[in-house]
Amino acid sequence: ERVSRKHIKCRADIDMLTVPLLRIYESLIPPKEEKEKQMQLLTSLEKLVVNEWPHAHLCLFGSCANSFGVSNSDVDVCLVLRDADIDKSEILLKLAEILQSANFQNVQALTRARVPIIKLKDPVTGVSCDICINNVLAVVNTKLLRDYAQIDVRLPQLAFIVKHWAKSRGVNETYQGTLSSYAYVLMCIHFLQHRDPPILPCLQEAKIVTYQQIVDNIECAYFDQVEKLKTFGSDNKESVARLVWGFFHYWAYCHDYANTVVSVRTKNTVSKRSKDWTRRIGKDRHLICIEDPFETSHDLGRVVDKYSIKVLREEFERAATILQAYPNPCEKLFEPF
Ligand code: CTP
Ligand code: MG
């Protein structure tokens, strides 16, 4: 049985940690030149692609386009082909051949993955890149994350710190049963939507829809004029340090893992029961449930198993304890595991 520490008050001097935490955040922001290198790579890839498939184009997604990218991240690229009835493996193998002849390094086609991709490294810019095909939902959810990041700077600040913590502590590895960066960012958005007063709105619940697209039979609709929401969170004066503490405290002691699903789509509480995520189906155990904002049948926590859930929860508790009790928590918090 876990001790309930739900009602613990935050340490009185918490705001003092904002300066060192923001220093870490700033050190993680990629320099301008990096963006230029990424665009250079995209341009050279696009030339090769259009040469073979004249109606195709490339889109960036993931951390290089959602504004949650730290420096030296891999670039995620989506090849968009008009024809829906394509054999993705065939296209990827063809593309791999083209890329190899164009002297890209470490070209690998992973055609059997859940999302088939090509991995490569560009010898000119030194940038590594993953290319997938027609993953338009990922392009759209990338835009949603980027739009949320515009509303209140405390979102990118919190999310960079959480991602940095997750990478340092080894809990950002989906193949080992821990969570993706994408899942962590959604957890941050959800957390900020539920502060009192809220720091972020729920864009998919806005009365006015300004962005709408149907992708893979899924309707993606929300209010995307985020420049009008710049003051949304201004009644909430919480410091970044308090939010970082609050985030870990929430996941360590307050989240109801047995019954609730984290969803940024709605401000209502979503129950596991309402989604039929209460039972184990195949490999999916739903031990921590994070709903994809558009593909709502997708639980980003489904990679988590009975061992890794323990690892995750212990890491949340460790982080909460360090932030609560250590005189100099910043170093300890990000200590390599
Ligand atoms: N994605 C998704 N569904 C998932 C995982 C990822 O749609 N289950 C898409 C999202 O668009 C996400 C992108 O793939 O933005 C990249 O995912 P991930 O590598 O988790 O996030 P990054 O933001 O690229 O993080 P990192 O900096 O760690 O590369
Ligand atoms: Mg990525």
Name the phi and psi angles at 280, rounded to 5: -80, 125
Report residue 155 as tokens: 């979102």
Ligand closest to CA 66: 1
The predicted complex's ipTM stands at 0.99
Give the C-alpha separation, 184 to 61, whole Å: 16
Residue 188 has pLDDT above 70, yes or no: yes
What spacing in Å lies between the alpha carbon of 237 and ligand 1's midpoint? 30
Which residues is 128 bridged to in the sheet?
Answer: 121
Nearest atom (ligand 1) to Cα of 182? 20
Close Cβ partners of 322 (under 8 Å, ≥ 6 residues apart): 329, 332, 333
What spacing in Å lies between the alpha carbon of 142 and ligand 1's midpoint? 8
- DSSP per-residue letters across 248-278: HHIIIII--TTTEEE-SS-SSPEEHHHHT-S
- The residue contributing the CA closest to ligand 1 atom 11 is 138
- The residue contributing the CA closest to ligand 1 atom 2 is 138
Q: Tell me, what's the pLDDT at 281?
A: 85
Ligand closest to CA 182: 1
**Hey, how many other C-beta atoms are within 10 angstroms of the C-beta on 6?**
10
Q: Residues with beta carbon inside 6 Å of ligand 1?
A: 61-63, 66, 68-69, 73-74, 76, 138, 141-142, 180-182, 300
End-to-end CA distance of the chain: give it in Å, rounded: 25
Candidate from 135, 181, 299 with most ligand 1 atoms within 8 A of CB, to mutate: 181
- The residue contributing the CA closest to ligand 1 atom 12 is 62
Statement: the pTM of the whole predicted model exceeds 0.80: yes
What spacing in Å lies between the alpha carbon of 279 and ligand 2's midpoint? 30
- pLDDT bracket for residue 117 (50, 70, 90): very high
Q: Tell me, what's the pLDDT at 156?
A: 98
- The residue contributing the CA closest to ligand 1 atom 7 is 138
Residue 243 has pLDDT above 90, yes or no: yes
- The residue contributing the CA closest to ligand 1 atom 5 is 182
Q: Which whole number is the average pLDDT over 112-119?
A: 93
Q: Tell me, what's the pLDDT at 86?
A: 87
Nearest atom (ligand 1) to Cα of 163? 28
Residue 199 has pLDDT above 60, yes or no: yes
Give the C-alpha separation, 317 to 333, whole Å: 11
- pLDDT bracket for residue 266 (50, 70, 90): very high
Q: What is the 3-state secondary structure (H, E, C) of 91-114?
A: HHHHHHHHHHHCCCEEEEEECCCC
Candidate from 34, 38, 63 with most ligand 1 atoms within 8 A of CB, to mutate: 63
pLDDT tens across 87-109, in order?
A: 999 999 999 999 999 999 999 99
